Every structure is written in C-alpha cells, then in structure tokens.
C-alpha cells in the first residue's frame, strides 16, 4: 500500500492536533506533533535558566542543543508521549508558560534548523501525519496532502480555556484570548518560517464545525488524495 505524507498546519488551538492524531490512527500512520518538540526544547531552556519570561540566552541554548534528546512515542489509542531524555514531560509542556516560551524559542534560526532536520528524518519513509506551522511550506514542501486549519481567535481561545480548566489550571478567558492573539502575531510575523498557508494547501475553517464534522471532512479528503496516488 502506497503511503503519503500529510502536513497539517495552522494557528494554535484550532483543533489541528486532535484532527492530526485521529487521522494518523485512521490511516495507520505515525503522528508527529512538532509543536511538542518546540515545547520540550522550551522546557529544557526554562529549567536551565536560559529562558525567562523576558529573555532567551540563545548562545547557551545553542551550545547545549546536542544535549537535548526529544522523543515522541506513539502509544495506544492515538496517545503520544513526549520525552526529554528519559523523562516523560507530556504534561509539563502543556502550560501557558511553556507554550509562550516555545513560541519565542521557535523564532531562533538554529532551533528551527535542528528541529526541522529531525522532523524530516521522522517522515522520510512517509506514512506520517505531521502537525505544526511550517510542515507544508518548509519541512515537507512535497507533502501529498497539505491542510491549513483556521478558526476565529475567540473560538480557539475558548477551546484552550476549556482544556486548561479541565487540567485544573486556573486562568481566565481574557488572559487566554490575549495569549492566543499574541502567539498568532508572533507565529505569523517571525522572520524564520512564519506561519503561512502553502499555495497548494487545502483550507479548513473549523470555527463552525463539530469535532465529528471536522473528522469526517478530513478523512474524506485523505481518502480522495490517497486514491490519486495509488
Ligand atoms: O502547536 P503548539 O501550540 O504546541 O506549538 C508551540 C509553539 O511552537 C507555537 O507557538 C509555535 C511553535 N511551532 C513552530 O514554530 N513550528 C512548528 N512546526 C510547530 C510549532
């Protein structure tokens, strides 16, 4: 059976990770959450004191980059665990502070060069669903299926807010909305691989779609695309 590469890009909290995970399960492909890799690196920087809320010590981080070993392990039921060395950091990387640090660290050229290299290795055999910001434009510009997912900032902030609440993290909606908007701004305006829709990507706006609808639309698209490559 021929396998393809599926690149799913989009703004934060637009539902792309859930869709990518479900599609990977449906297709029997490997799921790669590239945002988790930037988050794990950010956590490493925070723990070592090289990333603070105000600054990043890029020099120290670059020197230590080969000490960072990030692994994504696909578990049962489409779950993915993220490891920093031997430590399972799956939960630790999901805080607002780490998300913010990840967004800042992902603007650094040497960081992108290294993580893109690792992502290209992960997908070289195809049969992957990779989600991120630059998958269809930089990591796999030849991906057979490229999806660009969007939703309004309010819808995305509400999803994020509900997620954080469910995890017991106390915050208020306005803070999450401000954070979502700040991240949009940074992800879209940075010099290195800014988030943008690839010319040949299919646009999927999830603002008014249920999860079930998102899933159905995406699976249909995948099946049609796969047929075209058989
Ligand atoms: O998708 P996420 O929120 O987990 O991603 C965390 C940060 O990492 C986000 O602010 C942007 C950055 N990122 C990136 O620059 N390139 C990617 N391919 C994935 C994420």
Coil vs helix vs strand at 158: helix
137 touches ligand 1 (CB under 6 Å): no
Q: Which CATH number is 5-224 given?
A: 3.40.50.300
Residue 3 burial (CB count, 10 A) = 16
106 touches ligand 1 (CB under 6 Å): yes
Position in ligand 1 atom list of the atom nearest CA 13: 3
DSSP 192: S
Domain borders along the chain are 5-224
CA distance 194 to 179: 18
pLDDT (tens digit, 9 = 90+) per residue, 89-125?
999 999 889 998 998 999 999 999 999 999 999 999 9
pTM: 0.91
Of all protein residues, whose CA lies closest to atom 20 belonging to ligand 1? Answer: 35
pLDDT (tens digit, 9 = 90+) per residue, 33-69?
999 999 999 999 999 999 999 999 999 999 999 899 9
Position in ligand 1 atom list of the atom nearest CA 17: 1
39 touches ligand 1 (CB under 6 Å): yes
CA distance 7 to 129: 6
Position in ligand 1 atom list of the atom nearest CA 93: 4
Provide the sign of the torsion angle of the four alpha carbons 152, 156, 158, 159, taken in this order.
positive
């Amino acid at each position: 059976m021929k396998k393809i590469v599926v690149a799913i890009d989009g703004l934060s909290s637009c539902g792309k990770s859930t869709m990518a995970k479900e599609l990977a399960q449906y297709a029997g492909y490997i799921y790669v959450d590239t945002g988790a890799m930037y988050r794990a690196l950010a956590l490493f920087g925070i723990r070592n004191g090289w990333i603070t809320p105000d600054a990043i010590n890029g020099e120290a981080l670059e020197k230590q980059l080969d000490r960072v070993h990030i692994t994504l392990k696909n578990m049962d039921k489409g779950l993915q665990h993220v490891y920093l060395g031997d430590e399972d950091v799956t939960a630790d990387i999901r805080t607002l502070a780490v998300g913010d640090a990840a967004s800042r660290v992902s603007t650094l050229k040497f960081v992108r060069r290294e993580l893109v290299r690792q992502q290209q290795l992960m997908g070289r055999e195809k049969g992957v669903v990779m989600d991120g910001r630059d998958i269809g434009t930089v990591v796999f510009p030849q991906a057979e299926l490229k999806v660009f997912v969007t939703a309004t900032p309010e819808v995305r902030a509400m999803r994020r807010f509900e997620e954080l609440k469910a995890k017991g993290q106390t915050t208020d909606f306005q803070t999450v909305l401000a954070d979502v908007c700040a991240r949009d701004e940074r992800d879209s305006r940075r010099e290195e691989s800014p988030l943008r829709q690839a010319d040949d990507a299919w646009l999927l706006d999830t603002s008014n779609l249920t999860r079930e609808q998102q899933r159905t639309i995406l699976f249909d698209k995948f099946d049609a695309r796969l047929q075209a490559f058989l």
